[in-house]
Amino acid sequence: MKWVLAFSVLFVAAALAEEELVLADACDEEACQLPDCRCSSSSIPGGLNPRDVPQFVMVTFDDGVNIINIETYRNIIYNRVNSNNCPAGTTFFINHEYTNYQLVNELYNRGFEIALHSISHQTPQTYWAEATYEDMKLEFADQKLLMSHFANIPINEIKGVRIPFLQMTGNASFQVMSDYDLLYDSTWPTVTEINPGIWPYTLDYASTQDCVTPPCPTAAIPRVWVLPMISWLDLEGVACAMVDSCYFTPDLNSEDAWFRFIVENFERHYLGTRAPFGFYIHEWYISTYPAVRRAMVRFMDMINTMQDVFMVNSHEVIDWVKDPIPLQEYLQKPCRSFTPTTCPASSCGPLSSDHNEWSAYWMQICNVCPNTYPWLGNPLGQ
Ligand SMILES: [Zn+2]
């Protein structure tokens, strides 16, 4: 009897979970219309001709922000301006551990986009592949609070998610994003839809994108955007989603060879259908290889003078796809704006932590010090 009861309780719970998760239908182009719905596709939003499409370039850096890597950002990213006189954008996908939140506040107040890359960034990668809704809530919904609180950033300015190791978590991360007001995910690489490149789309209907790091989402999750990571091709034609994960690279000591490599990948977009071009990299790579850094700077200097190329915060790409105005109209638009904030600085520590009893942490934050080191289940360190 007990067994039967336990079994039926389980059965009901499973049935309820199934009910919440409606499998996505094939996309209905008639029903799915901008600004809030878009089928996964490489067709240009608004049916524009490629020459009327602003070519967006998304430079992104992943992982913690600290007093070492901020120097690179200050040197190569600050004070860049696009040809339309608007400040150039860059998105930082930041994980929590060892991050200096006063520097995150500085990046935010320079107009850059602050996005989420999890609280724990833990290994092994299978943790992420198997993560549940609850895991993703603790990693991302709570990180949104944590980031907003300690870096003093308006919570609505935090819109993007990139899961560690570019490991998809099926429906879980997207359901959390939908429930906690996160606009887009930039985790999902494509190796097949690179020429022509796939454009950002929503998950109202089933995605047709290739799934490189399964599990990929299967449910209908309205209004959440996928910002696909369109891979680069290395010198042997092997796809790489992060620049620093390319295998057959040019000579790491040759600025010229690297500059040509970057431009060749860029031109696949710019001379094609102008799907957004991603330059996804970790700071350690360019500080390890100065020639790569010089090539990257040369590339950014070049695109900052081009009349139809715009280095932007990633969320601006979603904004444009929702309302795909032609280049000439885009040029008339005011620059993006944001609400500046202050950072009442505190230096906190030593702070104990539950997840790592062998070391104490120090935190540089805006706001008042927490009691313990913030972590999963206790994002404000209370
Ligand atoms: Zn990472």
Domain ranges in the chain are 49-325
Q: How far is the CA of 115 from the centre of ligand 1 (A)?
A: 12
Peptide bond into 196 cis (omega under 30): yes
Three-state secondary structure call for residue 40? coil
With a CB cutoff of 8 Å and minimum separation 6, the contacts of 197 are: 42, 190, 228, 230, 268, 269, 272, 273, 275, 276
pLDDT confidence bin for 16, thresholds 50/70/90 = very low
| pLDDT at residue 9 in the model | 43
Q: How far is the CA of 20 from the centre of ligand 1 (A)?
A: 31
Question: 243-256 b/e with 16+ CB inside 10 Å = b?
Answer: bbbbeebbeeebbe
- Residue 344 structure tokens: 């009442």
Q: How far is the CA of 163 from the centre of ligand 1 (A)?
A: 8
Q: Which amino acid is at 151?
A: A
> Percentage of the chain with pLDDT > 90?
92
Q: How far is the CA of 191 from the centre of ligand 1 (A)?
A: 20
Q: How far is the CA of 164 from the centre of ligand 1 (A)?
A: 5
Q: How far is the CA of 316 from the centre of ligand 1 (A)?
A: 22
Q: How far is the CA of 122 from the centre of ligand 1 (A)?
A: 9
Q: How far is the CA of 334 from the centre of ligand 1 (A)?
A: 33
Q: Where are the alpha helices (DSSP H) in the chain?
A: 2-20, 69-76, 101-109, 125-129, 133-136, 142-150, 172-179, 255-270, 283-288, 290-303, 314-322, 327-330
Query: Could you read off the pLDDT of 257-291 as tens digits, one per residue?
Result: 999 999 999 999 999 999 999 999 999 999 999 99
CA distance 225 to 202: 4
| pLDDT at residue 42 in the model | 98
**In 10 A of CB 356, how many CB atoms?**
12
Res. 303: pLDDT tops 50? yes
Average pLDDT (160-170) is: 98
Q: How far is the CA of 167 from the centre of ligand 1 (A)?
A: 10
Q: How far is the CA of 326 from the centre of ligand 1 (A)?
A: 35
Task: Report the chain's mean pLDDT, rounded to a whole number.
Answer: 94
**In 10 A of CB 145, how many CB atoms?**
15
Res. 208: pLDDT tops 80? yes
Res. 72: pLDDT tops 70? yes
Q: How far is the CA of 127 from the centre of ligand 1 (A)?
A: 14
Contact 212, 238 (CB under 8 A): no
Contact 309, 277 (CB under 8 A): no
Q: How far is the CA of 185 from the centre of ligand 1 (A)?
A: 14
Q: How far is the CA of 118 from the centre of ligand 1 (A)?
A: 9
What CATH superfamily classification does 49-325 receive? Glycoside hydrolase/deacetylase (3.20.20.370)
| pLDDT at residue 1 in the model | 36
Q: How far is the CA of 121 from the centre of ligand 1 (A)?
A: 7
Res. 14: pLDDT tops 70? no
- Which of 5-19, 47-61, 193-207, 308-322 comes out lowest in average pLDDT? 5-19
Q: Which amino acid is at 315?
A: H
Res. 143: pLDDT tops 90? yes
Q: How far is the CA of 301 from the centre of ligand 1 (A)?
A: 27
CA distance 33 to 115: 27
Helix pair angle (142-150, 101-109), 10° resolution: 80
With a CB cutoff of 8 Å and minimum separation 6, the contacts of 53 are: 44, 273, 274, 324, 326, 327
Q: How far is the CA of 44 from the centre of ligand 1 (A)?
A: 30
Query: Could you read off the pLDDT of 84-129 as tens digits, one per residue?
Result: 999 999 999 999 999 999 999 999 999 999 999 999 999 999 999 9
Q: How far is the CA of 64 from the centre of ligand 1 (A)?
A: 8
Question: 307-345 b/e with 16+ CB inside 10 Å = b?
Answer: ebbbbbbbbbbbebbbebbebeebeeeeeeeeeeeebee
Q: Is 289 exposed, middle or buried, given 0-12, 13-18 or 19+ CB atoms closer than 10 A?
A: buried
Res. 8: pLDDT tops 60? no
Res. 4: pLDDT tops 60? no
Q: How far is the CA of 361 from the centre of ligand 1 (A)?
A: 20
Res. 213: pLDDT tops 60? yes
Report the DSSP pairing between strands 221-226 and 239-240. unpaired
Q: How far is the CA of 183 from the centre of ligand 1 (A)?
A: 20
Contact 285, 244 (CB under 8 A): yes
One DSSP character per residue, 318-356 reads HHHHHS---HHHHTTSPPP--------EEEEEEE--SS-
pLDDT confidence bin for 358, thresholds 50/70/90 = confident
Q: Cα–Cα–Cα angle for 282, 337, 91, nearest 5°?
A: 10
Query: Could you read off the pLDDT of 170-195 as tens digits, one per residue?
Result: 999 999 999 999 999 999 999 999 99
Q: How far is the CA of 269 from the centre of ligand 1 (A)?
A: 26
- Could you list the beta-strand ranges (E) of 176-220: 184-185, 189-190, 201-203
